[in-house]
Amino acid sequence: MFPTPVQKAPAWVRIGYQILLPAALVLWLLPLLGVALTSIRPAGDLAAGNYFGVPSYFAGPENYTAVFRDSHIGQFILNSFKVTIPTVIGAVGLSCLTGFALSTYKFKANLWIFFLFVAGNFVPFQILMVPVRDLSVRTGLYDSVYGLMLFHTAFQTGFCTLFMRNFIKTLPFALIESARVEGVSEWKIFWHIVLPLMRPAIAALSVLIFTFVWNDYFWATVLVQGDHAMPVTAGLLSLKGRWVSAWQLVSAGSIVAALPPVAMFFLMQRHFIAGLTLGATKG
Amino acid sequence: MTSTPLTLPVDAARPSWWKRNQLRLAPWLFLAPGMIMFAIYVIAPIFQSIWISFYDWDGLGPKKWIGLANYTELWGDESFYTSLKNNIAWLVLYMLAVPAGLAVALFLNQTVAGIRLYKSLFFFPFVISQVVVGLIFTWFYAPDFGLLSGLIRWLTGSNVAILADDRLATYGIIAAGLWPQIAYCMILYLTGLNNINSEQVEAARMDGARGWKLLWNIILPQLGPATFIAVVVTIIGALRSFDLVSIMTQGGPYGSTRVLSYFMFEQALSEYGYRMGYGAAIAVVLFLIMMVFITIFIARMIRQERDA
């Protein structure tokens, strides 16, 4: 264990650590706490210059209902779900197949295809922007949730393939080999033997991709124009433009927009971290 | 008692065409759907962008071939150099996330009550969208009612409007970007620390190694893979910086916070006009910069695959 556990340290270190821990956390989350506090502050407080003090009363309900009543944020959130959920299913599904192919078959192009997926996953979005937008316009997918969904599915397949391929590599290959000797078809090997073992990888990737896609802002602005298809990240910005000085509403909107991935993270924490830190321990 | 049949089924002697070729064809069938999607939306657009960068195009009308004119214009464009300079500032300063993440991870690598909750709360900034991070920090920096400006006013008595000051704005945005990035590096290092060989650490302790020496000679080498990934994701994050610039300053004041990714977007798709060819040329430059790092990363992967 490094650093030395505080339990083995002198008493003053132990007590100091226990005090420092919450203090550091408050400092670390200070910007977020400020926004959370602003979101429950009545508009009158901000007008009167009470920015940092105790709110004169708890205005949470009125601010949060105002956000939903006066803006399309409900629609934006729905759009985000419409883009995010099919993307998670699509990208994870496709990469189960590609990952299986790249991890269990030996053929000449194998490594090159794998590297193509990996490299494609790292390119700057801007190099894709003009052609992808053009393609979406020509196929009628521009300004719709489907256009966004298809792009995200394709793009995230790169990262998912990297992940799945490395995950299947850790499974015992003898299992597949003996099934082959028995004459089990390749599809059945995938479906009945490998796929059930991939459950932890599927869970980890699903939460990760959910967060990535939910939080996307660039493609939401490039591929969508109207409120009917706009995800919550891009929608939030239009609210900021409209509520220039109503920071209590912008804050409340921000909190609402951040909630789904945060909930996802806390519910599936173990999977989330397992996904994110893949490769941080070995290789 | 039954005896095993000695005759083989007839079709096993002469397997069907599919049975004979299954092993050769199966990988391609498994790969096809993913590869087609990836080719359409990721691989092909890279080449299309390079091609478009040689044209003058507004995105709707006919394209006009102008050769390298977009690149020569870029060569003389002052905004391009501002963006490039800011990209370098992002790259260099973003790297602070790696040691800072390690420091936070070392601080949190204890087993006291509630530490799990602390770890997840420290990780929090990474989970929320960059749009929300941008809004939070815009508010944090706001001249009259922002928490940070309030603090600075209280300490020094003077007002600072970070995002309106063309000397400070970029650094203000980078600081906002560091917040989630440090959280990301922290989680990588926490996982790395979890898997450290404790026997080696104890042996080094027996030999009298402590503190910095222990960290530098024993711990850091074991954290190599975590460091590598932290560096890779931080470089990519720095070069991808778009959201925060777009949300916090929209490239301003006076274009001083532009980075290549934002400059490209501005030229290709904003009120400044639809200059797709020029935008594509900027994107190609950014792509080439990224390609340097991608190549290093892939080269390392090739080496690993060969060892495996």
How far apart CA B64 and CA B3 sit, in angstroms, is 81
Half-sphere exposure (CA, 13 Å, Cβ side) for B270? 12
Task: Give the residue from B98, B129, B181, B302 with the most A CB atoms within 10 Å of its CB, the best one to mutate.
Answer: B129
Identify the domain containing residue B107 by its residue range: 78-307
- Please determine, for residue B8, whether its predicted confidence score (pLDDT) is greater than 50: no
| Same domain? A265 vs A226 | yes
- Please determine, for residue A283, whether its predicted confidence score (pLDDT) is greater than 50: no
Identify the domain containing residue A40 by its residue range: 6-60
**pTM attached to this predicted model:** 0.90
pLDDT digit string (tens) for A40-95?
988 888 777 777 778 888 888 889 998 898 889 999 999 999 999 999 999 999 99
Q: Is residue A281 part of a domain?
A: no
Name the domain count of chain B: 1
Q: What is the pLDDT of residue A47?
A: 75
Q: What tokens were used for A37?
A: 């506090």
CA distance A69 to chain B (A): 20
A37/B contact by beta carbon, under 8 A: no
Task: Tell me if A151 sits within 8 A of A222, measured CB to CB.
Answer: no
Query: Which residue of chain B has the CA closest to A110?
Result: B27
Lowest mean pLDDT segment, chosen from A39-53, A119-133, B46-60, B160-174: A39-53
| Same domain? A45 vs A181 | no
**CB < 8 Å to A110, chain B:** 27
| Same domain? A53 vs A77 | no
> Which CATH number does the domain housing residue B183 bear?
1.10.3720.10
ipTM of this predicted structure: 0.90
| Same domain? A233 vs A164 | yes
Helix (H) or strand (E) holding A147: helix A145-169
Task: Tell me if A190 sits within 8 A of A98, measured CB to CB.
Answer: no
| Same domain? A137 vs A269 | yes
Q: Is residue A104 part of a domain?
A: yes
**CB < 8 Å to B107, chain A:** 24
Q: Is residue B39 part of a domain?
A: no
Q: What angle do CA B237, B242, B244 make, to 5 degrees?
A: 95
pLDDT digit string (tens) for B118-161?
999 999 899 999 999 998 898 888 887 777 888 888 888 777 88
Residue that terminates a domain, selected from A40, A60, A80 = A60
**CB < 8 Å to A125, chain B:** 240, 242, 261
| Same domain? A20 vs A120 | no
Q: What tokens were used for B177?
A: 């970007």
Contact criterion met (CB < 8 Å) for B261 and A125: yes
What mean pLDDT do residues A173-184 have?
Answer: 89
A184/B contact by beta carbon, under 8 A: no
Burial class (CB in 10 A: 0-12, 13-18, 19+), B16: exposed
Residues 186-245 on A with a CB inside 8 Å of B are 186-187, 190, 211, 214-215, 217-218, 221-222, 233-234, 236-237, 240
Q: Is residue B266 part of a domain?
A: yes
Residue that terminates a domain, selected from A60, A80, A101 = A60
How far apart CA A243 and CA A246 sit, in angstroms, is 5
What mean pLDDT do residues A139-168 have?
Answer: 94
Contact criterion met (CB < 8 Å) for A127 and B147: no
Closest partner residue to A2 among B45, B179, B219, by Cβ?
A: B219
DSSP alpha helices (H): ranges in B224-275? Answer: 224-240, 243-248, 260-269
Task: Tell me if A122 sits within 8 A of B236, measured CB to CB.
Answer: yes
Helix (H) or strand (E) holding A233: helix A232-242
Name the band, by pLDDT with cuts 50, 70 and 90, for residue B15. Answer: confident
What mean pLDDT do residues A194-216 have?
Answer: 92
Task: Give the residue from B131, B138, B153 with the most A CB atoms within 10 Å of its CB, the best one to mutate.
Answer: B131
Burial class (CB in 10 A: 0-12, 13-18, 19+), A278: buried
Closest partner residue to B109 among A3, A38, A111, by Cβ?
A: A3
Name the band, by pLDDT with cuts 50, 70 and 90, for residue B3. Answer: very low
- DSSP state letters, B154-168: HHHS----GGG-TTT
| Same domain? A43 vs A86 | no
CA distance A66 to chain B (A): 19
Give the closest residue to A115 by CA, choosing from A168, A156, A165, A190.
Answer: A165
| Same domain? A151 vs A256 | yes
Q: Phi and psi for B270 in degrees, rounded to 5? A: -130, -170
Q: What is the pLDDT of residue B13?
A: 56
Distances (CA, A) of B135 to A101, A241, A253: 43, 11, 10
Q: How many residues appear in chain B?
A: 308
Lowest mean pLDDT segment, chosen from A152-156, A258-262, B100-104: A258-262
Q: Is residue A282 part of a domain?
A: no
| Same domain? A112 vs A210 | yes
| Same domain? A12 vs A138 | no
| Same domain? A260 vs A176 | yes
**CA-CA-CA-CA torsion sign (A261, A265, A268, A270):** positive
Closest partner residue to B110 among A6, A131, A217, by Cβ?
A: A6
Core vs surface per residue B49-60: b (16+ CB within 10 A) or e: bbebbbbbbebe
Name the domain count of chain A: 2
Q: What tokens were used for B229?
A: 């990934």
Q: Is residue A283 part of a domain?
A: no
pLDDT digit string (tens) for B178-236?
999 999 999 999 989 988 888 888 888 888 878 888 888 888 999 988 999 899 999 99
How far apart CA A230 and CA A82 sit, in angstroms, is 10
Closest partner residue to B38 among A158, A247, A251, by Cβ?
A: A158
Q: Is residue A218 part of a domain?
A: yes
Q: What is the pLDDT of residue A245?
A: 72
Q: What is the pLDDT of residue B21?
A: 83
Q: Is residue A46 part of a domain?
A: yes
pLDDT digit string (tens) for B75-103?
999 999 999 999 999 999 999 999 999 99
Q: What is the pLDDT of residue B12?
A: 52
Name the band, by pLDDT with cuts 50, 70 and 90, for residue B1. Answer: very low
Residue A143, by phi and psi: left (phi above 0), alpha (psi -120 to 50) or beta?
A: left
| Same domain? A101 vs A124 | yes
pLDDT digit string (tens) for B249-306?
998 888 899 999 999 999 998 766 789 999 999 999 999 999 999 999 899 888 888 8
Q: What is the pLDDT of residue A231?
A: 95
**CB < 8 Å to A133, chain B:** 59, 269
